């Protein structure tokens, strides 16, 4: 079987875009972290090495998933739901949980740490695809409420870590799935009111969110505390200009911008490669997302289609939220840029998800 036969045009684009993004990610992770890695670990390649391992694991996930028939997942959609919940609960198990910056977001065994919420959001997508494709569930309000409740459990658990940004990501994915899944618009409209009320309540129970929002409106009001990260991000982006200061030449990565290799890597891209670099990165993401959606549209069954839409939705939402945060367009929350930011869990799950999409594309081809 030659490559030509197994790969249609969309698959090729998806593979090229994914590889381009992860390789570019390695270069940028090195560029953004070389100074801090040298200062903190006396090894400028510290983060790059970790990232390359992440890419390798991710590639394994990608290849394995490409060859697993995606329709098998449909049989286990409740299992995905439970696995996701278990991962999220593990975060709160003493001995496994790892806390940093006031949030318990990681579980760890030895020096190996994973971020369960990264895995859980995909579990939810698998579950929703299975659940929603099982008849026209969304025609009935009780199923809508049930779907919302089940998704709500995920949101609640992630919120408890706390991890506001993944909560948002999961919530938007849930809404997206319901919308695409054919939920009646009337019901959709009714959801908006309690959603806004919920946001207000959330802000009230965790006052630090309000200070984040104030910092977002005017970061210079409190430049050393809440506003610091955003100001540093804006300095990085602003210093880039049209063509950037050149690869590996970031000044902001010299300890000025915290998390420059992870959540704020886009700022370093903007600084080093300028507006042109940002434009290219965004266009690659758009191409990838549209190709994933096209695969979904061509899928020969509702479950596979929903799976593609869900995966495409997670990527879109996470990229948009990430860029919105680093450019000061929405209040800052920590969220990695898919395929590019440093972080093995994120790389593994996103690349595996791409494998699932490729499998769907392959299956579609077979049927033709």
Partner 1 sequence: MKKFKTFYNLFSLQRRFVAVIIIIIVLFFALLSRIFYLQILNGKNLQVLAAEQWLRDLPLSSKRGEIFDSSGVSLATTVTTYDVYVRARNVTEPVALANAINELLNVDYDTAYTKVINTAFSEILVKMQVEEEKALKLTEYDGIYLSQNVKRVYPYSSSLTQVLGYCTIDNIGQAGLESYYDKYLKGIDGKSLTQTNARGEEIENSLGYYIPSVAGANIYTTLDIQMQNILEQELMNAYVEHKAMGVSGIILDAQSGGIKAMSCIPNFDLNNVPRDDISALQQMTKNSTVVDVYEPGSTFKLITLAAALNEGLTNIEETFFCPGHITVDGETIKCWKTTGHGRLTLLDAFKNSCNCVFVNLALRLGVDKMYEYLDYFGIGEKTGVDIASESSGIVMNKESVRTVDLARIGFGHAVAVTQLQMASTYAKITTGYDTTPHLLDYMEIDGEKIYENAITKTKINLKDETIATINMMLANNVNSEGNFTFIAGYDVGGKTGTAQKYDENGQIASGKYISSFIGTYPATNPQYVIIICVNEPSNGVYYGGVVAKPIGQNVLNKIFTLKAFEPNDYTQLENQPNIIMPYLVGKSLAEACAELKKLGLNVMFDGEGEYVIAQLPEENTLLYLGEIVYLITN
How many residues line the site for partner 1 (CB under 8 A)?
48
Kindly tell me which of 69 and 329 has the beta carbon lying closer to partner 1.
Answer: 329
Nearest approach, Cβ of 324 to partner 1 (angstroms)? 6
Q: Which residue has the tokens 């079987």?
A: 1
Q: Which of 15, 237, 295, 356 binds partner 1 (CB under 8 A)?
A: 237
Kindly tell me which of 106 and 266 has the beta carbon lying closer to partner 1.
Answer: 266
Does residue 218 touch partner 1 according to CB under 8 A?
Answer: no
Q: Which stretch binds partner 1 (CB under 8 A): 57-65, 90-98, 116-124, 268-276?
A: 268-276
| Whether residue 162 has a cis bond before it, omega within 30° of 0 | yes
Please give the C-alpha separations between residue 127 and each of 44, 86, 130, 160, 256, in angstroms, as whole numbers.
41, 14, 5, 21, 41
Q: Which of 241, 246, 249, 366 binds partner 1 (CB under 8 A)?
A: 241
Does residue 279 touch partner 1 according to CB under 8 A?
Answer: yes
Does residue 282 touch partner 1 according to CB under 8 A?
Answer: yes
Q: Which stretch binds partner 1 (CB under 8 A): 17-25, 48-56, 68-76, 267-275?
A: 267-275
Does residue 274 touch partner 1 according to CB under 8 A?
Answer: yes
Build a one-symbol-per-residue string for 170-209: x at contacts with partner 1 by CB under 8 A, - elsewhere.
Answer: ------x--xx-x---------------------------
Q: Which stretch binds partner 1 (CB under 8 A): 59-67, 157-165, 192-200, 319-327?
A: 319-327
Q: Which of 240, 310, 331, 336 binds partner 1 (CB under 8 A)?
A: 240
Nearest approach, Cβ of 224 to partner 1 (angstroms)? 11
Nearest approach, Cβ of 99 to partner 1 (angstroms)? 24
Nearest approach, Cβ of 145 to partner 1 (angstroms)? 20
Using DSSP bridges, classify how beta strands 112-114 and 97-100 pair: parallel, antiparallel or unpaired. unpaired
* Contacts to partner 1 by CB under 8 A: 35, 39, 176, 179-180, 182, 234-242, 251-252, 254-256, 270, 274-275, 278-279, 282, 285-286, 289-290, 293, 297-302, 305, 316, 319-320, 323-324, 327-329, 367-368
């Amino acid at each position: 079987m030659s490559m030509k036969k197994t790969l249609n045009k969309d698959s090729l684009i998806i593979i090229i875009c994914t590889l381009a993004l992860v390789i570019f990610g390695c270069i940028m992770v090195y560029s953004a972290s070389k100074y801090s890695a040298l200062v903190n670990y006396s090894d400028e390649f510290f983060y790059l090495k970790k990232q390359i391992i992440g890419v390798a694991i991710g590639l394994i996930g990608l290849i394995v998933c490409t060859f697993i028939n995606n329709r098998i997942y449909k049989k286990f959609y409740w299992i995905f739901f439970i696995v996701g919940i278990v991962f999220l609960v593990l975060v709160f198990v003493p001995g496994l949980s790892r806390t940093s910056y006031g949030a318990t977001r990681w579980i760890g065994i030895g020096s190996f740490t994973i971020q369960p919420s990264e895995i859980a959001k995909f579990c939810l997508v698998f579950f929703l695809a299975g659940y929603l494709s099982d008849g026209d569930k969304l025609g009935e309000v009780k199923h809508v409420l049930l779907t919302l409740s089940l998704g709500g459990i995920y949101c609640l658990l992630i919120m408890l870590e706390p991890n506001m940004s993944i909560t948002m990501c999961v919530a938007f994915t849930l809404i997206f799935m319901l919308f695409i899944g054919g939920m009646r618009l009337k019901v959709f409209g009714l959801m908006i009111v309690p959603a806004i009320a919920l946001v207000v309540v959330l802000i009230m129970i965790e006052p630090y969110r309000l200070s984040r929002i104030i910092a977002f409106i005017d970061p210079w009001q409190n430049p050393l505390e809440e506003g610091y990260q955003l100001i540093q991000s804006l300095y990085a982006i602003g210093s880039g200009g049209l063509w950037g200061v050149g690869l590996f030449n970031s000044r902001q990565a010299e300890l000025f911008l915290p998390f420059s290799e992870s959540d704020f890597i886009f700022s370093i891209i903007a600084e080093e490669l300028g507006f042109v670099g940002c434009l290219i990165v965004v266009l690659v993401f758009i191409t990838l997302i549209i190709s994933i959606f096209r695969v979904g549209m061509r899928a020969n069954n509702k479950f596979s289609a929903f799976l593609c839409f869900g995966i495409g939705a997670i990527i879109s939402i996470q990229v948009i939220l990430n860029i919105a945060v680093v450019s000061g367009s929405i209040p800052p929350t920590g969220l990695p840029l898919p395929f590019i930011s440093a972080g093995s869990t994120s790389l593994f799950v996103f690349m595996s998800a791409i494998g699932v999409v490729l499998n769907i594309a392959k299956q579609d081809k077979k049927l033709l």
